[in-house]
Amino acid sequence: MKRSDVLFVVGFSAEAALLPPDARVICAAANPARLDALLAEEQPAALLSFGIAGALDPGLTPGALIAASAVVAGHAMATDATWTRAIAAATGARIAPIAGSDSLVPDAAAKTSLMAATGAAAVDMESQVVARHARRLGVPFAVLRAIADTADEAIPRAAANGLDAAGNPAPWQVMRGLLRRPQDLPGVIRLARRSRAALSALADAAPRIPLP
């Protein structure tokens, strides 16, 4: 299989920028409904969900890589086992389930509850949509995610609207949020730092991702 046969799905533009220039990429802009509509128009030979994730497992630290064994969203949707093992071997990622969510999981209590309900190590907003479309098309799919926020951290409300409709950073939206909630500033700074650690791990892994 050629790289052009694989459709890479990311949440925002900084993740897309880490992939090889010949990669086919869809950017969901942290909008699962938009991603669902975009994928309905595609017919790739394989799908890969790539980007950052939030930790549910308290043992995961920023930059840790997860190759999902399954995506859990109501029920478990298994990834392609052979491809997942190859990704883990090439990148050093841990193989574990990942949960899907239609929205940000905002705080430690919600993360603890989601881990208890799903058994997942991490959560993201794109992988469940990827899994559903892979099943519809009958093609293999895999997930490679790097941890940004840890299991005991809340997502600052001021950072919740940090992307524009194209998945690019929207600093003025964050600034407006901080004007309303200045107490979120330390959390925004911490999240930015930990997101950089996750993106650095993904940048190192991206050239080593094997094809199915």
pLDDT exceeds 90 at position 105: no
Residue 169 within any structural domain of the chain: no
Indicate the pTM of the whole model: 0.90
Residue 74 within any structural domain of the chain: yes
Residue type (1 letter), 11? G
Q: Please give the span between the terminal C-alpha atoms of the chain, in angstroms, as a whole number.
A: 7
- DSSP H or E run through 50: strand 46-55
Task: Name, in order, each residue with C-beta under 8 angstroms of 197's C-beta and a sequence gap of 6 or more.
Answer: 62, 63, 146, 148
Residue 88 within any structural domain of the chain: yes
Measure Cα distances from 207 to 22, 57, 124, 175 in Å.
12, 27, 22, 34
pLDDT exceeds 50 at position 92: yes
Q: Which two tokens stand for residue 153?
A: 């951290």
Integer Cα distance of 71 and 77 in angstroms: 5
- Residue in 208, 198, 195 with CA at minimum distance from that of residue 65: 198
Residue 31 within any structural domain of the chain: yes
Residue 130 within any structural domain of the chain: yes
188 pLDDT band, cuts 50/70/90, is low
Residue 111: domain span: 3-155+193-208
**What SS3 state is found at 31?**
coil
Residue 50 within any structural domain of the chain: yes
Condensed to tens digits (0 to 9), the pLDDT of residues 135-146 reads: 999 999 999 999
3 pLDDT band, cuts 50/70/90, is confident
Q: What is the CATH number of the domain that holds 88?
A: 3.40.50.1580
What total of structural domains would you count in the chain?
1
Residue 18 within any structural domain of the chain: yes
Integer Cα distance of 118 and 97 in angstroms: 8
Residue 168 within any structural domain of the chain: no
